């Protein structure tokens, strides 16, 4: 299946789940934490503040003692924005804290590390903070927004800029779109001197010294964008400081996973620590999987059919436990692994297989199912609806297996049977 379809489907799934989990799409484009992004920025000559990272309370005093600044900013590291306005599950307010007092740092770090941070962009129960950044604070005069993005609509990269950056950029985009400029970039030319000047002026950095610095920062950002095969480099805010520096105060970089083979150093930074373990496991076997909160595990081929299956389960009063598209070129082993992931999920009380064999051979699916059901000692009801290529052979394999498989001839019947199986 094309990547486009997968991504489109995942957007639909995300709206279906009614939560914004943009970083949990089946195409696992790598995202880095702020501090990791800043290391890349620094290496490319983009200005960032000095920082230290605390990931273990035991060593926190040691790390903090070595770090000195006139003022500090303490920032929880998670793969979601909106931290400044977020709150923790222990009641602590704000994922970004500023203090002048060195002796307060440890207390702030203690309130963040190991606790869940909830922001507008996280799932509703938040994300555990495993790393905290302690950075030099900077004296901000003006916060702006800059982002280089691969944009489907423009068939290439665009530069998005706003003089009204900072924590309310979403509101700016909605209420005052004139304050946001989108400039399509030529992939070979990138951010030219003249584009960089135009943007610096638009950001309000027209004064000679600031202009030169902004132009240099933007040109370095572009160079990095190309060098690391980024899909997005977002700097919010890019600030002007009291002493007339231009500094990237927050950074978010995501990468094109098609480029993994030539960006191995970067991809090795991915600890996948924040992702749903079911999704991490599934991605090892190239399965397009998204975990959900329901109890009917679905194994489907094709994103469209997966969406339809989830809809019909809902229509019949059930709730899907996942979105799982095994794709067109699925092998028996992947079917086995998909089954294993579903059965290891304690929430799954029934499994529904819905496969339309176009490219995929139904017998492959049937063999995978039978093998998995036997080896894994399947104890929950299994409803199977197969149609298409080699379906007779597939039905025979299922029937002769002697396993208690409930078969269904169409989608509606399959969903009804799965829902009924749970209610019994």
Minimum distance from CB of 61 to Mg ion (Å)? 28
At 191, list the tokens: 């951010």
The residue (of 50 and 155) whose beta carbon lies closer to ligand ADP is: 50
Q: What is the DSSP letter of 228?
A: T
Q: Is 166 annotated as a binding residue?
A: no
- The partner in contact with residue 49, picked from ligand ADP, Mg ion, none with C-beta cut-offs of 5 to 8 angstroms by kind, is ligand ADP
Q: What is the DSSP letter of 337?
A: H
Task: Give buried/exposed letters for 296-325 (b at 16+ CB in 10 A, else e).
Answer: bbbbbbbbbbbbebbebbbebebebbbbbb
Q: Is 121 annotated as a binding residue?
A: no
How would you classify the pairing of strands 382-388 and 405-407?
A: parallel
Query: Has 217 been annotated as catalytic?
Result: no
Region near Mg ion per CB under 5 A, out of 45-53, 184-192, 216-224, 246-254 = 246-254
Which position among 234, 240, 274, 332 bears the catalytic label?
234
Minimum distance from CB of 282 to ligand ADP (Å)? 28
Q: Is 301 annotated as a binding residue?
A: yes
- 3-state secondary structure (DSSP) of residue 195: helix
Which position among 35, 72, 145, 336 bears the catalytic label?
145
Contacts of 158 (CB under 8 A, 6+ apart): 148, 149, 151, 182, 183, 184, 185
- The partner in contact with residue 140, picked from Mg ion, ligand ADP, none with C-beta cut-offs of 5 to 8 angstroms by kind, is ligand ADP
The residue (of 127 and 138) whose beta carbon lies closer to ligand ADP is: 138
Q: Is 327 annotated as a binding residue?
A: no
Residues near ligand ADP, by CB under 6 A:
49, 73, 75, 81-84, 96, 98, 135, 137-138, 140, 143, 166-167, 236-237, 249-250
232 makes contact with Mg ion (CB under 5 A): no
Query: CA quadruple 396, 365, 359, 323: dihedral positive or negative?
Result: positive
Q: Is 206 annotated as a binding residue?
A: no
- The partner in contact with residue 22, picked from Mg ion, ligand ADP, none with C-beta cut-offs of 5 to 8 angstroms by kind, is none
The residue (of 146 and 373) whose beta carbon lies closer to ligand ADP is: 146
Query: Has 413 been annotated as catalytic?
Result: no
Minimum distance from CB of 138 to ligand ADP (Å)? 4
Q: Which residue is nearest to Mg ion (CB)?
A: 250
The residue (of 33 and 350) whose beta carbon lies closer to ligand ADP is: 33
143 makes contact with Mg ion (CB under 5 A): no
At 276, list the tokens: 């749903």
Q: Is 359 annotated as a binding residue?
A: yes
Contacts of 45 (CB under 8 A, 6+ apart): 216, 220
Specify whether the CB–CB gap between 24 and 276 falls below 8 A. Answer: yes
The length of the chain is 424
Among 236, 295, 301, 343, binds Mg ion (CB under 5 A): 236
Candidates 107, 46, 43, 48; CA nearest to 74 is 107
Q: Is 19 annotated as a binding residue?
A: no
Contacts of 398 (CB under 8 A, 6+ apart): 366, 369, 370, 384, 386, 405, 407
Determine the size of the site formed for Mg ion (CB under 5 A): 2
Specify whether the CB–CB gap between 236 and 145 falls below 8 A. Answer: yes
- The partner in contact with residue 381, picked from Mg ion, ligand ADP, none with C-beta cut-offs of 5 to 8 angstroms by kind, is none
Specify whether the CB–CB gap between 406 and 395 falls below 8 A. Answer: no
Q: Is 84 annotated as a binding residue?
A: yes
Residue 349: other Cβ atoms inside 10 A: 18
**CA-CA distance, 263 to 247, in Å (whole number)?**
26
Region near Mg ion per CB under 5 A, out of 191-199, 250-258, 384-392, 405-413 = 250-258
- The partner in contact with residue 96, picked from ligand ADP, Mg ion, none with C-beta cut-offs of 5 to 8 angstroms by kind, is ligand ADP
Specify whether the CB–CB gap between 55 and 130 falls below 8 A. Answer: yes
Q: Is 295 annotated as a binding residue?
A: no
250 makes contact with Mg ion (CB under 5 A): yes
- The partner in contact with residue 368, picked from ligand ADP, Mg ion, none with C-beta cut-offs of 5 to 8 angstroms by kind, is none
257 makes contact with Mg ion (CB under 5 A): no
**CA-CA distance, 423 to 295, in Å (whole number)?**
11
Specify whether the CB–CB gap between 152 and 256 falls below 8 A. Answer: no
The residue (of 47 and 322) whose beta carbon lies closer to ligand ADP is: 47
Q: Which residues define the annotated binding site for substrate?
A: 301, 358-360
Active site residues: 145, 234
Binding-site residues for GTP sit at 49, 82-84, 138
**Residue list, annotated binding site:** 49, 82-84, 138, 236, 250, 301, 358-360
Site residues (vs Mg ion, CB under 5 A): 236, 250
């Amino acid at each position: 299946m094309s990547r486009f379809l997968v991504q489109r489907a995942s957007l639909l799934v995300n709206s279906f789940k009614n939560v914004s989990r943009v970083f949990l799409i089946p195409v696992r484009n790598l995202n880095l934490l702020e501090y990791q992004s800043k290391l890349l920025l620094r290496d490319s000559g983009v200005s960032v503040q000095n920082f230290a990272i605390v990931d273990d309370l035991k060593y926190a005093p040691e790390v903090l003692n070595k770090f000195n600044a006139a003022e500090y900013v303490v920032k929880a590291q998670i793969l979601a924005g909106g931290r400044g306005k977020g709150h923790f599950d222990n009641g602590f307010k704000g994922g970004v804290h500023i203090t002048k007092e060195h002796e307060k740092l440890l207390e702030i770090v203690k309130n963040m590390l190991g606790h869940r941070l909830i922001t507008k962009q996280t799932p509703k129960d938040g994300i555990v903070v495993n790393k905290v950044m302690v950075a030099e604070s900077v004296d901000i005069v003006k916060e702006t927004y800059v982002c280089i993005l691969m944009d489907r609509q423009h068939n290439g990269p665009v530069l998005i800029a706003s003089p009204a950056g900072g924590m309310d950029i979403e509101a700016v985009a909605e209420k005052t779109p004139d304050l946001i400029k989108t400039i399509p970039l030529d992939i070979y030319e990138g951010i030219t001197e003249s584009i960089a000047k135009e943007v610096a002026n638009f950001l309000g950095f027209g004064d000679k010294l600031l202009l030169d610095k902004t132009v240099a920062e933007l040109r370095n950002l572009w160079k990095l964008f190309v060098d690391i095969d980024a899909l997005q480099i977002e700097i919010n805010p890019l600030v002007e400081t009291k002493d007339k520096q231009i500094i990237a105060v927050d950074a978010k970089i995501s990468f094109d996973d098609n480029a993994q083979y030539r960006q191995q150093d970067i991809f090795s930074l991915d600890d996948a620590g924040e992702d749903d373990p079911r999704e991490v496991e599934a991605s090892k076997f190239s399965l397009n999987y998204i975990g959900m909160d329901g109890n009917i595990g679905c194994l489907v081929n094709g994103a469209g059919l997966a969406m339809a299956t989830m809809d019909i389960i809902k229509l019949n009063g059930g709730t899907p436990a996942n979105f799982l598209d095994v794709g067109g070129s699925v092998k028996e082993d992947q079917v086995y692994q998909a089954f294993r992931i579903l059965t290891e999920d304690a929430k799954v009380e029934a499994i529904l297989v819905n496969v339309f064999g176009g490219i995929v051979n139904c017998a492959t699916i049937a063999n995978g199912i039978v093998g998995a059901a036997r080896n894994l000692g399947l104890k929950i009801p299994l409803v199977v609806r197969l149609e298409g290529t080699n379906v007779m052979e597939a039905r025979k394999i299922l029937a002769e297996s002697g396993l208690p498989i409930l078969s269904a001839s169409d989608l509606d019947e399959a969903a009804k049977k799965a829902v009924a199986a749970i209610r019994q």
